[in-house]
Amino acid sequence: MAGNDRPGPLTEDRLLSGRITIRQPKHGFRVALDSVLLSASIACEDGERVLEPGAGVGGAALMLAARVPGCSVVGLEAQRALVAIAGENIRLNGMTERVDIVMGDLGSPPSRLALGAFDHVMMNPPYHRSGSTHAPAEASRAASHVEGDSGLEDWVAFGVSMLRGMGTLTLIHRADRLADVLAALHGRAGEIVVFPLWPRGDGSPAKRIIVRARRGTAAPLRIAQGLVLHERDGSFTPEADRICRGGDLEV
C-alpha cells in the first residue's frame, strides 16, 4: 500500500532522552514503545549492517544507529511519503553516513538490497491478518496495522533471505500470534528466543512479544523471562525506563 501524498500535519518528538528527534505524521502511524524496544533488542556490533523492512519514518533505525555508533542501518519502506519524511529525519539527526531509508516493498525490493547482505534484520510487521479487523482510514496506519499483499510468512521469509550465515532476525509482534510467528520461522531459522513483554508484574498476560531467531542453526527454542513494562500506577519500571533512555535490552 503505497501512498504518494504527503500526510497532514507533522509533530516533532524526541526519543532516547532527546538523543533522537523524529518528525512524524500527527494522525498516521507513530513511533512508539514497540519501536523503542525493538531497536534496543538488536545485539549489533560496530561494523555490522542491519536491515529494517517497514521502516516508516526511520524511528527504530535512527535509535539503533544512536545506540551503536559503528553500525549502519538500511530501511525499506513502501510508502513514498514516509520515505521522504524519513530522509528529513536522517538529515535532522546527522545520520546520513550510516542510515538510509529506500523505497520498495517485500515483493519488489530495490536491487541494491542484495540477498544475504545483512548481519541483522529487525521488523515490526503489521499485527493483524488481512480481513481480521477493520483497517484504519488513514493510509499509513492501515498499512502498519493490517497485512496487505504480504502476510507474516512473507515478512519472515524475506527477512531470513537477507541475512548472512548465522545472522539474526528480530521482530516484535502480538503475543496471540506467536504460533504464526513460529510457523513462519519453521525450517528457516533456529535458536529461537521468545521474549514476553509483560504489561505489569501482577500476572497480567503479555500482549507483545519479541522473537529472535538465527539463520543457519537448528538450536532449540528458549523462552526468556521477559520484561515487565509498567508499575501498578502506570509508570515505567526502572528497567523499562532505562531502555527508553537508550539502554540495551538483552533478549
Q: What integer best gives the mean pLDDT of the chain?
A: 92
Does the domain formed by 10-189 have CATH 3.40.50.150? yes
pLDDT band at 6 (very low <50, low <70, confident <90, very high): low
Percentage of the chain lying above the pLDDT 90 cut? 84
Output the pLDDT for position 139. 55
Q: What is the DSSP letter of 205?
A: P
pLDDT band at 1 (very low <50, low <70, confident <90, very high): very low
**Residue 204: phi, psi to the nearest 5?**
-60, 140
pTM: 0.91
Helices 178-185, 152-161: crossing angle, 10 deg rounding: 40
Output the pLDDT for position 138. 57
Question: In the predicted model, what is the mean pLDDT of residues 114-126?
Answer: 96
Is the pLDDT at 113 greater than 70? The verdict is yes
Domain range summary for the chain, segments of one domain joined by +:
10-189
Is the pLDDT at 143 greater than 80? The verdict is no
Point out the least confidently predicted range of 2-6, 16-20, 205-209.
Answer: 2-6
166-182 as b/e, with b when 16 or more CB fall inside 10 Å?
A: ebbbbbbbeeebeebbe
Mean pLDDT highest for which of 109-118, 148-157, 168-177?
168-177
Query: pLDDT of 208-217, one tens digit each?
Result: 999 999 999 9
Burial label, 159 (beta-carbon count in 10 A; 0-12, 13-18, 19+) = buried
